[in-house]
Amino acid sequence: MNNFVAPLRDRPTRRILRCVGGLTLFGAGVALQKQGRMGLAPWDVFHEGFSEVIDWPFGRALVLTSFLVLFLWIPLRQRVGLGTLLNAVQIGVVADIVISLVPEQTSYWTRIPFMVIGILLVGVGSGFYIGAGLGPGPRDGLMTGLAARGMAISRARTAVEITVLLIGWILGGTVGVGTLAFALSIGPIVGRTIPRLRMQDLPSATSDDERPWAE
């Protein structure tokens, strides 16, 4: 069994609901940070710049990027889970919906709360979707795949995020205080949310017939 992928007979309904709920929070957080106009997370700087180049909505460009990144999984021999595919599609779809409903902010009195709330939603959403155990997101899988090939996970994450940040900035993505705030805070946030929201696998001694379909 891949370490990232839980058996779908192990409470699949709960896992899927937690994954979908977490990705909804994640997408809303990305959108609020974008509409706050204080600077985006490194990958979202790339998504925004890429969307400008191809003239697509931000969320749709995010979805396209997700599937392009999945192609990089092939040489890294990463396994795609249900959560991986949900991540690839849902975050971008939710982000575009929220962006269409919430206008860009012009006052610091609202821009700063949008940035803070956006980062918190991404952190909590990450805890739910990663904790569901249905597979890593395309970008996370890229970094863990590099780590599996001998690169330290911290170095892999830093190298990937600096690269996409620079490319996104060159393409016109928004870099600012929010970018730094995300980089400094997201690690501690998910460090707290993932352990608290992770679903534990049922005991391995329990036979498949004894495992409930859902809780």
Nearest CA to 37 out of 142, 98, 111 is that of 111
Cα angle 26-31-37, degrees, rounded to a multiple of 5: 130
215 inside domain: no
- Structural domain includes residue 192: yes
Query: Cβ–Cβ contacts within 10 Å for residue 81, how many?
Result: 22
* Residue at 21 is within a domain: yes
Q: Say if residues 94 and 59 touch (Cβ distance below 8 Å).
A: yes
Length of the chain: 215
Q: What is the pLDDT of residue 106?
A: 93
Does residue 213 sit within a domain?
Answer: no
Q: Could you tell me if 15 and 197 are in contact, meaning their C-beta atoms sit under 8 angstroms apart?
A: no
| Nearest C-alpha neighbor of 33 from the set 122, 140, 154 | 122
In a domain, 206, yes or no: no
Burial letters 46-56, b for 16+ CB under 10 A, else e: bbbbbbeeeeb
| Per-residue CA distances from 154 to 87, 115, 197 (Å) | 22, 25, 23
Q: What b-and-e string marks burial along 166-186, b requiring 16 or more CB atoms within 10 Å of the CB? A: eebbebebbbeebbebbeeeb
Q: Whole-structure pTM over 0.85, yes or no?
A: yes
Give the pair of three-digit tokens for residue 57: 């909505």
Report how many domains make up the chain. 1
Distance CA 146, CA 128 (A): 24
Measured between alpha carbons, how far is residue 83 from residues 77, 80, 131, 181, 198 in Å? 17, 8, 10, 27, 14
Is position 5 within any domain?
no
What is the span of the domain harbouring residue 52? 12-199
**Best CA proximity match to 9, nearest among 202, 205, 198, 195:** 202
Q: Is residue 211 part of a domain?
A: no
Residue 38 falls within a domain, yes or no? Answer: yes
Distance CA 37, CA 211 (A): 47
Along the 215 residues of the chain, how does pLDDT read in single tens digits?
344 454 556 788 899 999 999 999 999 999 999 999 999 999 999 999 999 999 999 999 999 999 999 998 988 888 888 999 999 999 999 999 999 999 999 999 999 999 999 999 999 999 999 889 898 899 988 887 887 788 786 788 888 899 999 999 999 999 999 999 999 999 899 889 988 998 876 665 344 443 333 33
> Who's near 101: CB < 8 A, 6+ residues apart?
none
